[in-house]
Structure 1
Amino acid sequence: MNPTEANPELTPDRTVQRGARQEALIGLAFILPACIGFGLFYLYPAIRGLWISFTDWNMLSAPSFVGLQNYLQVFQDEKFWSALGITFKYVLLNIPIQTVLGILLAVAMDRVVKSTVIRGLMILPYLLSTVVSVSHGESSSA
C-alpha cells in the first residue's frame, strides 16, 4: 500500500505546501528582530517627529496642533534657504571629489603595493586617529 493512499494528507502537494510554510515561518523568525529594531529605532521616531513638526511645543507644556504653520514659517526664512543652498553646494562638490580621490588612491595603492602588510601600514595612521579619538573621548567622559 502506498503511504499517500493510507494518509491522503501526505500527498506530494501537501508535503511541499507544509515545507514551504515552515520555510516561510523560519524566514519570518529570522527577519523579525530586524523588523522590530526598524520599527522601534526608525519608524516610530520618524512618525513621531513628523507629528511634532505639526505642533507648537516647547517640551515644557502640552503640544498644540498648528498644522502647516511651522512649514510656512521655515519656507519664508532666508536662513533656511541659505543653509539649504550651502548644503547642496557641499554635497555636489564634496561627494564627487571624495569619491574620485578615494578611487584614485585605491587604484594607485593596488598598482604600487602588492603586500598586505605594507597596505596595512599605509592605512594605519587613518585607523589609529579614529581609535585614539574614540578612546580619548570615552576616557575623558568617564
Structure 2
Amino acid sequence: MADATTEPLLTPTTDDDGAPFWTYAARGELRIQACTACGELRFPPRPCCPHCQSFASDWRRMSGRGRIWSYVFPHPPLLPAYAARAPYNAIIVELAEAPRIRLVGNLVATPDGELDSVAPERLRIGAKVQVVFVDVGGTVVPRWLLERP
C-alpha cells in the first residue's frame, strides 16, 4: 500500500472555499476568487473578504500570465517519492493581473515535462511565465512554462 513516503503528493486537500479552483483547473482555466462587494481578488480562497468582510464572491478568469517572484530547489532530506526527481524547482508566480496574488508550482519545459525538465540556471526572478494544466495521477494541476524559452 502506498503512503506519503513512497508516492508523490498528487491530490490537493480541498474544502468548500477552494474546491472551485480545482474544478476550473480541470477545465484548463486559471480562476481566482474575487469579492463581488469590493472587487478585490483573494488567494488562497476563503469565505470572507479580508478587505471589506463581505461573504459574496465569484471566480474571475485570469490570463495565466505572470512572473517568477521566487524559487527554490529543495534539498535533502526529501520524501522518497521526490528524491529521484531532484533537482527540481518549486516556484512562486506573481500573477500579471493581480500582483498581490501568488501561486506555487513548478516550471517545466513542456506542458507534459518532468519536474526536473528545466535546468536550474534557466530560472530567474522576474522571468515571464504562462500557466499550463497537467493531469497528474487523475488531478489536474497548474504548472508553468517560460514565455520565451
Q: Under TM normalisation by the shorter chain, which class is it?
A: under 0.3
TM score, norm. by length of structure 2: 0.20
Higher relative contact order (CA 8 A, sep 6+): 2
Larger of the two Rg values belongs to structure: 1
**Structure holding more helix per residue:** 1
Q: TM-score, with normalisation over the residues of structure 1?
A: 0.20
